[in-house]
Structure 1
Amino acid sequence: MRKKTALKDIAERIGVSTALVSYVLNNQEEEKRVGKEIALKIREVAKEMNYTTNQIAKSLKTRKTNTIGFVVADINYRFTTGVTRAIEAECQKFNYTVIFGSSHEDPVRFAEVVNVLVNRQVDGLILIPVEKCEEQIEYLKQYEIPFVLIDRILPNVDANLIAIDNVSAAFQATRHLIRTGHKRIGMVTYKTTLMHLQDRKKGYFDALEAAGIRPDENLVKEIPDHHNEQHLNTCLDELMKLLPKCDSVFFATDTLAVNGLRHINALKINVPKRLGIVSFDASEAFELFYCKITHGRQPLEEIGRLAVNTLLDVMKHKKTKRKIMLETDFHIGQSCGEK
């Protein structure tokens, strides 16, 4: 049986101390002021000698598992896919493995997944919060478990946060509809207490007010169930009955936009001739539609990168306080009658 490579073997091959090899392979070369050339040489030789860390022994010694828990709201969301990729890629740079779990937008499930990850002794958590999860967040704070929230704001919870400016993004989307000649703008969103969707509604109303357009509550439709497409179809049917009094629709999420466009297409309502459309976020499904959909686009890679780096800072320095609000990109297509 082939002998397993040890730190001492690598050190002897290069002619350096075992401690120096340990610093580099534990990503401490900057902290310990190890030169870049020797650090690169150590990594090359370690790879050449098929060195692998004994993670169990290492975690017992350092009280670290080099794992990060990531709890998403729903694995089916495009946001989840994009930001997960970014988080995993950034974690790999620092030799961390990501363990995933989904709450399915359920606070009970959220608490269960968080507890499982904590019991697995992850070094920290990146969380997409759900409605009524504040108690679980306070539990993490009480026991000083490092965590970062992303995407969704909990107004009554003081925590490190990486999110986007939802008010600004929704304002921009609604203003674009106004600038392309639309005055009777409907909005389709979810019925929820989650602040990020409340902020999108605020941005919609702010844009109407700024343009001197009186808001009409009949044009705002709130879907009570995230997973019931029939509710969405019913709300759209109500809006479509108002044509031409309703001349456009702003969808508050990409999922609503994709399912909504499917129903609008089934009703044979032409976009943009009879109805202008803007989606809050992007979707690969838009490529299948007969005209390019105008949409906002969240900076998923940046959110993931900042989330990981913020969490690593929290793990090193408990008192880290960071609240970063990013802007969305706005991609102009043809769904509002753009020239």
Structure 2
Amino acid sequence: MKKTSLNDIAQQLGVSKTLVSLVLNGKGKEHRISEDIQKKVKKLAKELNYRPNQIAKGLRTGKTNTIGLIIADMANPFFGKLGREIEKEASLHGYRVMFCSSDEKAENSQKQIEMLQQGQVDGIIISPPEGSEEQILSLEASKTPYVLVDRYFADIDSNYVVVDNFQAAYEGTMHLINNEIRKIACVTTSARLVNMIQRLEGYKKALTDSNIPVLEERIKVMPFSHEKNDVFYAIKELLSAKDRVEAILFTTSKIGVMGLESIHSLGMQVPSDVRVVSFDDPDAYKISFPPISAIAQPLKEIGRESVKILLENIKNKEHKKQKVMLNTRFIARKSSSK
């Protein structure tokens, strides 16, 4: 079936293609096109199911009203929820979102950035994987509007929206310590990502401030592309040791979900055998038995701030860099207390 064009509408109404374009782009009134003609154009466009060619429109105007979003890991519930919040916020401003997932691999994000730039997106929101510093510098050099979310690179002056990861991990660990627990493990990943570094440091600082020794055997750093077996063996080591741990801090919800499965697979129960606190607050934590104590990130605010900053940079590419750090919220549930 032939797609309806501006020319088709113009011919049927006996008007110019330019007039039809002005009306459908909301510029009829400023060009003094009569209300009657505007109504006829819009009515026929609807009847013929007219859909604008966004690529052609983008080439004409230099703007596509589309932003690219590269999240780090689609399998992580946190990024799925964050993606939805960014999409909802962008929609409020008349923008569509093109989704990509780098799977925490720099080579993937490189290809995705190139694809998005070729697709004429107006800007990009990125959760950059480890080793993608050159990609961000390249965006800077090309003056492509972008915002980093969840993590950033300390040596690159960039726009970013993150949470206070150090303080969040500190508070989560202190919650366990305040419940008279001293043998606390931390299961984390990718020690080179700034957010993971800060979470691990927050955990360690809470221990040292409480005169609890930081033992390396109680810190398990999962491989970059960790699977369920990696987490299972880490949990097994922690819970089968002679001086086994009393509680575990998981630094991502993906690791947390795998960790909880591993605890149950080992025939142990939360919180009677081991207490648990995890970053992020996926729906599974709320309905789990017992419900899981969580460090909830302000997803709506992250989405709102990242879109706001990106749109400001699309409008003015020389806009001053904005660095936003938000607070998390600790939610105490039954998994961390007996």
TM-score of the superposition, structure 1-length normalised? 0.85
Change (3 A) 1:48 1:171: farther
Report the CA distance between 1:48 and its aligned residue: 10
**Equivalent residues in 2 for 1:62-101, closer than 5 Å:** 62-101=61-100
Q: CA deviation at 1:283?
A: 2.2
Q: Which amino acid in 1 is paired with 2:323?
A: K
Aligned pairs, number: 316
Compared CA separation, residues 307 and 48, structure 1 to 2 (3 A): farther
2:30 to 5, 13, 17: 17
* Aligned amino acid, residue 114 of structure 1: I
Q: Give ranges in structure 1 of 5+ residues lacking alignment.
A: 22-41
Could you tell me how far apart the structure 1 residues matched to 2:335 and 2:120 are?
48
Q: Counterpart of 1:172 in structure 2: which amino acid?
A: E
Q: Is the 8 A contact 1:258 1:283 kept in 2?
A: no
| Per-residue deviation, 1:63 | 1.2
1:167-246 matches, cutoff 5 A: 167-242=166-241, 245-246=244-245
Q: Secondary structure at the match of 2:186?
A: strand
**Bigger mean CA deviation after superposition, 68-77 or 219-228:** 219-228
Judged with a 3 Å threshold, the aligned counterparts in structure 2 of structure 1 residues 20 and 189 are, in CA distance, closer, same or farther, namely: farther
Structure 2 CA distance for aligned equivalents of residues 223 and 315 of structure 1: 38
Displacement, 1:86?
A: 1.2
Structure 1 match to 2:325: 325
CA shift in 2, pair 1:267/1:57, >3 Å = closer
Change in Cα spacing, 1:47 to 1:286, as seen in structure 2 (3 Å) is farther
Query: Structure 2: which amino acid aligns with 1:335?
Result: S
Partner in structure 2 of residue 306 of structure 1: 305
State the match for 1:6 in structure 2.
Answer: 20
Whole-angstrom distance in 2 between the partners of 1:99 and 1:91: 11
**Cα-to-partner distance string for 1:102-133 (whole Å, 9 max, x where unaligned):** 11111111101111111111111111100110
Moved more, 75-84 or 235-244: 235-244
- Structure 1 residue 139: deviation in Å? 0.8
SS in 1 for 2:277: strand
User: Which stretch shows the higher mean deviation, 265-274 or 167-176?
Assistant: 265-274
In 1, Cα distance between the equivalents of 2:108 and 2:273?
Answer: 43
Q: Measure how far apart 1:244 and its partner are.
A: 5.4
Provide, for residues 249-304 of structure 1, a one-character-per-residue CA deviation record: whole Å limited to 9, x for no partner. 11111111111111111212221122111011112222453211111111111111
Q: Where does residue 34 of structure 1 map in the other structure?
A: none
User: Taking structure 1 as reference, are residues 20 and 184 closer, same or farther at Cα in structure 2, changes over 3 Å only?
Assistant: farther
Asked if the contact 1:11–1:17 (Cα under 8 Å) also holds between the matched residues in 2, the reply is no
Judging changes above 3 Å, is the alpha-carbon distance between structure 1 residues 19 and 102 closer, same or farther for their aligned structure 2 residues? farther
Map of 1:25 onto structure 2: none
Name the residue aligned to 1:30.
none
**What is the root-mean-square deviation in Å for CA atoms of aligned residues?**
2.8
Percent same amino acid at aligned positions?
Answer: 34
Please report how far the alpha carbon of residue 93 of structure 1 lies from its aligned counterpart in structure 2 after TM superposition.
1.8
Q: For residue 245 of structure 1, report the CA deviation from its aligned partner.
A: 4.1
Partner of 2:337: 337
CA–CA distance in 1 between the matches of 2:335 and 2:225?
A: 25
Aligned twin of 2:138 = 139
* Cα deviation, residue 243, structure 1: 5.9
Conserved? CA contact 2:9–2:45, under 8 Å: no
Measured in 2, the distance between the counterparts of 1:208 and 1:20 equals 71
Q: Match of 1:337, as an amino acid?
A: S
TM-score by length of structure 2 reads: 0.85
2:152 is aligned to: 153
SS in 1 for 2:148: strand
**Partner SS state of residue 101, structure 1:** strand
1:7–1:18 Cα contact (<8 Å) kept: no
Please give the secondary structure, in 1, of the residue aligned with 2:29.
coil
Structure 1's 323 and 83: CA in aligned 2 closer, same or farther, altered over 3 A? Answer: same
Q: Which amino acid aligns with 2:203?
A: Y
Structure 1 residues 226 and 11 mapped into 2: Cα distance closer, same or farther (>3 Å)?
A: closer
Q: Are the aligned partners of 2:75 and 2:254 in contact in 1 as well (CA < 8 Å)?
A: no
Distance change >3 Å, CA 10–CA 264, structure 1 → 2: closer
CA contact (8 A) 1:278 1:336 kept: yes
2:337 alignment partner AA: G
Q: Write the distance in 2 (CA, Å) between the matches of 1:253 and 1:182.
A: 21
Q: Secondary structure at the match of 2:89?
A: helix
